[in-house]
Amino acid sequence: MVRVAPLTPRIVSVFLKAPVGAPIAGQHLVVRLTAPDGYAAQRSYSIASSPAADAIELVIEKFEDGEVSPFFHEVVQPGDAIEVRGPLGGHFVWRAEDGGPLLLVAGGSGVAPLMAMVRAWRDAASPTPLLLLLSARGWDDLAFRDELIALQARAPLFSFIAATTREPARRSGDLGHRFDSTALQAALRHWGYAPQHAYVCGANRFVEAMATGLLEAGVAASRIRTERYGGAG
């Protein structure tokens, strides 16, 4: 393990150097922790770093009753050896040659695999339009917020809309309430493109609502890919 960096009050980025193959944007690693008595627990964490990055970045949200996530928030130190397996996953992935327009919809730490797609898109200087919709409780809970705002300022084909569900919007064009079907359709109309690929990642309820909203907006089911996480941690 190289280092841990805070992203939000409840989310950290964990940077690893691991002898694994180069990931495809959207893939994950399985992390396994083993206690001195032999008890082991493992969790899957999405890779947020670009496939071209020197270190693998995992995004880990802390669950107070979790078996794995508190270790990365409270215990782990640079230089510690971490057992990992992967990269894994072949359905929820995007490559530059897949093209677009590309729509990414994330709730909370569900932004992790989508951030890998954003970075892969950036590194490839992709000519396809990309829209990222990111929902979180508050402004400080928006993981990668500053990086995304900076990318939006210099990349005309990249659009970023944040929704803060418990705080007023801070920027013009952002939302101070949840994404719902109406807000989703309004964002797509303003964007002006019909997504060729749509990826949705977050908690179960968020994913269900956003996938339904996309269908109601006229996005074909065959173009929608979803990934969801629970709260086991």
Could you write out the DSSP letters of every residue in 77-115?
Answer: -TT---EEEEEE-SSS---GGG---EEEEEEGGGHHHHH
Tokens of 214: 């996309």
DSSP state of 24: P
Per-residue model confidence (pLDDT) at position 230 = 63
| 102, 179: one domain | yes
| 60, 168: one domain | no
Lowest mean pLDDT among 56-60, 177-181, 218-222: 177-181
Q: Please check whether residue 130 is in contact with residue 121, taking contact to mean a CB–CB distance below 8 angstroms.
A: yes
| 110, 219: one domain | yes
Residue 227 pLDDT exceeds 90: yes
| 127, 202: one domain | yes
Where does a domain end: 88, 122, 141?
A: 88
For residue 33, what are the domain limits? 3-88
Per-residue model confidence (pLDDT) at position 105 = 98
Q: Please check whether residue 30 is in contact with residue 87, taking contact to mean a CB–CB distance below 8 angstroms.
A: no
- Tell me how many domains the chain contains: 2
- Amino acid at site 206: F
- Amino acid at site 210: M
Decide: pTM greater than 0.85: yes
- Amino acid at site 39: Y
As a whole number, mean pLDDT of residues 96-102 equals 97
SS3 150: helix
Assign 232 a pLDDT band (cuts: 50, 70, 90). low
CATH, residue 42: 2.40.30.10
Per-residue model confidence (pLDDT) at position 21 = 82
CATH, residue 162: 3.40.50.80
| 219, 112: one domain | yes
Per-residue model confidence (pLDDT) at position 39 = 86
Q: Tokens 């060729």, residue? A: 196
Sign of CA dihedral 149, 155, 156, 160: negative
For β-strands 56-61 and 11-16, DSSP reports them as antiparallel
Q: Please check whether residue 132 is in contact with residue 148, taking contact to mean a CB–CB distance below 8 angstroms.
A: yes
Where does a domain end: 88, 106, 138?
A: 88
As a whole number, mean pLDDT of residues 46-68 equals 92
| 128, 223: one domain | yes
Residue 35 pLDDT exceeds 90: no
Per-residue model confidence (pLDDT) at position 67 = 86
Residue 61, beta-bridge partner list: 11
| 120, 222: one domain | yes
CA 84 to chain centre: 19
Residue 211 pLDDT exceeds 90: yes
For β-strands 83-88 and 28-34, DSSP reports them as antiparallel
Distance CA(200)–CA(206), nearest Å, equals 9
Residue 126 pLDDT exceeds 90: yes
SS3 36: coil
Where does a domain end: 88, 121, 141?
A: 88
Phi-psi region of 169 (alpha: psi -120 to 50; beta: other; left: phi over 0): beta
SS3 209: helix
| 129, 194: one domain | yes
| 102, 147: one domain | yes
Work out the mean pLDDT of the chain and round it to a whole number: 94
